[in-house]
Amino acid sequence: MNPPLQWLLSGPAWVTYRTRLDLLHQDPGDALVVQARQDMLADPQVQFVIAGLADWPGTVLSSHKSAGQAYHRLNFLTDLGLTAADPGLGAIVERILSSQSEQGPFALPMNIGAAYGGDGQDRLAWALCDAPLQVYALIRLGLGDHPAVQKALGFLTGLVRENGWPCAVSPELGSWRGPGRKGDPCPYANLAMLKALGQMDELRSSPAAETGVQTLLTLWEQRQDQHPYIFYMGTDFCKLKAPLVWYDLLHVLDALSLFPAARSDPRFANMLDIALQKADAEGHFTPESVWMQWKDWEFGQKKLPSRWITLLLWRVQERLKVSPA
């Protein structure tokens, strides 16, 4: 089966733009690509997300899983292909850079109650379930070589252990950590770190990246028995969902597909096969779960195929054409 290119190209400008870049591999300077990008930037829904980030970083972080968190919304914009040079993004970048902690990661407003190991006070802090995603966004925005981004990435990479990245937080959060054994890897922290490392060509085959890849693949292999930090890989995990926010099949596939060590692994092939079985006769994919904060988007419903989810899955397959060696 071939990707439904004409169907994808007939969709919203942001789908058209990514289709031309990711599936057709057209040059960013091509007239059709340039037009698609201009149309994307003018799209009312895209403009609404940008406008909603004007007060970055926004309110105190209540739940890393909330799809409405500012850094999740920013990551979606960067997934579309927006950069720091686009209207409204430069100011956000400056605010992120100004929030760099002494250790290196960029901080967000948080409040951890005393019952959970914190002090109940609003403060700037970071955790491995958010810090790598800010680094990811900055790299996607075009700041991969910025000294502050390199410092943050270097520090976060250094937290890796033999079994992957743990649950780790900044000193301001005291003894807080997620609900799990201290020695276990945090599945979401590993996913977030791989997203960031996967944006840097020179880091995709690094020892840290290969450790993270093996961690996620091993968790998949042992999913019947291993559920560290209460992250399961069962029925709900396998439901197709966008945007890429939490720990689910499409998100994990998208991240792993960036790494040579994953693309040739039979466990990755098994994960991908489960996803591809969800295609209809035309190669379209329909959302199976939705984030209510994104219900107005074309992937925010479960009745019709989604061009965005379809594009993401065909992009994973496209990446497999790259030599895994």
- Mean pLDDT in the chain? 93
Picking from 100, 71, 247, the residue whose alpha carbon sits closest to that of residue 170 is 100
What's at 316, amino acid-wise?
V
Residue 176 has a pLDDT of 72
Q: Which of 54-68, 98-112, 161-175, 295-309 has the lowest mean pLDDT?
A: 54-68
Residue 69 C-alpha from the chain's centroid = 13
pLDDT at 62 over 70: no
Dist. CA 157–CA 135, nearest whole Å = 11
Q: Which residues contact 48 (CB under 8 A, 6 or more apart)?
A: none
Residue 208 has a pLDDT of 98
Dist. CA 269–CA 265, nearest whole Å = 7
Confidence band for 183, pLDDT divided at 50, 70 and 90: confident
Helix axes 307-319, 249-256, angle to 10 degrees: 40
Residue with tokens 């959302």: 287
Q: 229's torsion region: left (phi>0), alpha (psi -120 to 50) or beta?
A: left
Q: Which tens digits make up the pLDDT trace of 122-148?
A: 889 999 999 999 999 999 999 999 999
DSSP secondary structure, 200-249, as one string: -GGGTTSHHHHHHHHHHHHHHHTTTT--GGG---STTTTS--SSS-SS-H
Tokens at 156, concatenated: 């976060």
| Bridge partners, residue 169, by sequence | 127
Q: Do you find a cis peptide bond into 57, omega within 30 degrees of 0?
A: yes
Picking from 4, 5, 11, the residue whose alpha carbon sits closest to that of residue 36 is 11
109 C-beta neighbours (distance < 10 Å), count: 15
| This prediction's pTM | 0.95
pLDDT at 325 over 70: no
Per-residue pLDDT averaged across 41-49, rounded?
98
Q: Which tens digits make up the pLDDT trace of 10-19?
A: 999 999 999 9
Q: Which tens digits make up the pLDDT trace of 187-226?
A: 999 999 999 999 999 999 999 999 999 999 999 999 988 8
Residue 88 has a pLDDT of 96
Residue 1 has a pLDDT of 85
Q: Which of 89-93, 176-180, 219-223 has the lowest mean pLDDT?
A: 176-180
Dist. CA 144–CA 150, nearest whole Å = 7
Q: Where are the alpha helices (DSSP H) in the chain?
A: 5-9, 13-22, 31-42, 44-52, 70-80, 89-98, 131-138, 147-157, 187-197, 207-221, 249-256, 260-263, 266-276, 307-319
- Which DSSP category does 292 fall into? G
Helix axes 187-197, 147-157, angle to 10 degrees: 140
